[in-house]
Amino acid sequence: MNVWESLKELQLLSECLVFKQIYNLKKLLFLHKLVRINNSVLKDCYDLFSHSVEFTLLCYSFYIALDLCSEVDIRSKVFSVFNHIVHSR
């Protein structure tokens, strides 16, 4: 690879995400667990956060409905979006 080339393709091939994608993936997986938790306080926190702009943008940017997706679906969609970013340049 040349110095001026992006490493995103190499990261994609090795299934390594950039920091922003890792952060979003971890946040989505955490929220996914909160959807299914039995703790009423945490459930209330999730309900409040789920009405925020940040939550809506996060779910919209990865085409995810947290209450309908599995963890595998979430991982797949995050990698799919990263794949699209890499190949749309």
Query: In tens digits, what is the pLDDT along the chain, a chain of 89 residues?
Result: 555 556 666 565 565 566 788 899 999 999 999 989 899 999 999 999 999 999 999 999 999 998 899 999 999 998 888 777 767 76
Whether 21 contacts 82, CB under 8 Å = yes
Structure tokens at 88: 């749309």
- Give the tokens for residue 61: 């940017």
- Tell me the whole-structure pTM to 2 decimals: 0.75
